[in-house]
Amino acid sequence: MSSGNEESWWTEQRNRRSQQCRNATCTCHIEGTLEPDLALALAKRNRVALRWTSIDELKAQYEFEDLQSFLDLYYALMKTLKTKDDFKDLMVAYLTRANADGVKHTEVFFDPQVHVCTNGLDFNTVLDGLLEGMAIGRERFGITGGLILSIVRDMDIDSANMILDLAQPRKNEILGIGLDSAEVGYPPDRFVDQFERARSFGWHCVAHAGEEGPAAYIRDALDLLHAERIDHGIHIQDDHELLERVVRDGVPLTCCPLSNLRLQVVHDMRKHPIPEFLHEGLMCTINSDDPAYFGGYAAANYAALADIGMSMEELAALAKNSVDASFASDSRKTQLTEELLAWRAQHGI
C-alpha cells in the first residue's frame, strides 16, 4: 500500500469509527456549546463588551491549564446570553451539530444560577429559550431529550435554593438535577437538601464527581445525593472497591475523553482509562461535555478513542451503553437500540 493510499485508508477507518455515535445519546453543558463566532455575534447583538474582539483573539484563549482556567472563560462568555432568542439560538446551533454527528437523544445541562443570580436574567427567559430550541430540534432532526438543571457547586447555597423555588412551578418541564463547576472543596455532602428537594419534584439525579475531585466524592454522590449517573467519574480508578460496586450496581459514568485531555485530567489520550473501564464492566458512555471549548462534539470524542485503538465493537458497546444509561422512555430506548442494531448490521459490526 502506498503512503498516500495508506493515509486515505486510515482516514476512512477513523471517519467510520467516529460515526459509531450514530443512534447514540449524549450529554453536554449547553453553555459549553457557545462557539467563538456565536459568542462574538451575541456580544455585538446585546452590546456586551468582551475583552476579545476577533475570532482569532478569542480562540487563542482556549488553552487551559485546569478546570478553573476553563471556567474563567466559560463564565465570561456566558454574559453574552441575554434574551430568549439567544438561548433558543444556542440550543438550535448545538442540536444542528449533534444531528450531523448522528446523536438521536441528548440530555442537556444548564446553569440558571449564573444566568439569574450573576447575570440578572429572568429564569423563565432562560428556560423558555432552551425549551423552544429543543422543540425546534425535535421537529427538524427528530432529536429527543430534556434539560438537567445544574447546581453550581461553588456558588452560594442560598442561590441554589432560590433557583429551585423558581423552577418548582415548571418542574414538569425539567428532566433532572445535576451538580457541576469547580469540584475540589465543594463535596457532595453540601447539597443533600437540594437533591432531596429535586427528588420530590420527580427529577432524576446526576452529579459531577471524581473529575478533579477524589473517588470519595463519587461514593458520596451515590450515598448522599442518590445520583443515578456519575458525570466524569474518572478517579474511580483510584478505588477498586468502589469501582466493583459501581459495576455491580450498573451505575453509568458519562465519560468525556476530549474534555479530560484539554483540562489535564489525563495527559495522553493513549493512557485514558476508558478501555480499561469497559474491560472491567463499567457502563461507560461517551459525551462531549463543553465541546466548543474542548475540541469536539460527540463524533470527535468517538474518533479520539478510535485513534488510540478502540475497536468498532468496543465503540458500538459504548454507543449501546449511552442508550441504556439515558433517561429516555422505554419505548424510545427500544427504538434507538433497534436503529443501532440496524446500523451495525449495515456495516458488518
Residues with active-site annotation: 211
With H, G, I as helix, E, B as strand and everything else as coil, classify residue 329. Answer: coil
Domain 25-346 grouped into CATH 3.10.310.50:
no
**What distance in Å separates the CA atoms of residue 247 and residue 257, rounded to the nearest whole number?**
20
Residue whose entry in the numeric block shows the C-alpha cell 457547586: 153
pLDDT of residue 49: 94
In the predicted structure, residue 22 carries a pLDDT above the cut 80:
no
Closest CA to 226 of 247, 249, 207, 200: 207
Percent of the chain with pLDDT over 70: 93
pLDDT in tens, 86-126: 999 999 999 999 999 999 999 999 999 999 999 999 999 99
pLDDT in tens, 260-289: 999 889 999 999 999 999 999 999 999 999
Residue whose entry in the numeric block shows the C-alpha cell 443570580: 117
C-alpha cell at 56: 482569532
With H, G, I as helix, E, B as strand and everything else as coil, classify residue 67. Answer: helix
pLDDT of residue 205: 98
Contact at 8 Å (CB) between 255 and 286?
yes
**What distance in Å separates the CA atoms of residue 329 and residue 334, rounded to the nearest whole number?**
9
In the predicted structure, residue 17 carries a pLDDT above the cut 60:
no
Q: Where are the domains of the chain?
A: 25-346
Rg for the chain, CA atoms, rounded: 19
The backbone torsions φ and ψ at residue 185, rounded to the nearest 5 degrees and listed phi first, read 90, -5
- pLDDT band at residue 332 under the 50/70/90 scheme: very high
**What distance in Å separates the CA atoms of residue 173 and residue 167, rounded to the nearest whole number?**
9
pLDDT in tens, 29-85: 999 999 999 999 999 999 999 999 899 999 999 888 887 888 899 999 999 999 999
pLDDT in tens, 181-232: 989 999 999 999 999 999 999 999 999 999 999 999 999 999 999 999 999 9
Cross-strand partners of 25 = 105
Closest CA to 327 of 108, 158, 154, 81: 108
- pLDDT band at residue 302 under the 50/70/90 scheme: very high
> Residue 104: CB partners within 8 Å, gap ≥ 6?
23, 24, 25, 142, 143, 144, 336, 339
C-alpha cell at 16: 467510520
**What distance in Å separates the CA atoms of residue 106 and residue 19, rounded to the nearest whole number?**
16
Neighbours of 153 (CB within 10 A): 23
- How much is the pTM? 0.93
Range 290-328 burial, b when 16+ CB lie within 10 A, else e: bbbbbbbbbbbbbbbbbeeebebebbbbbbbbbbebbbb
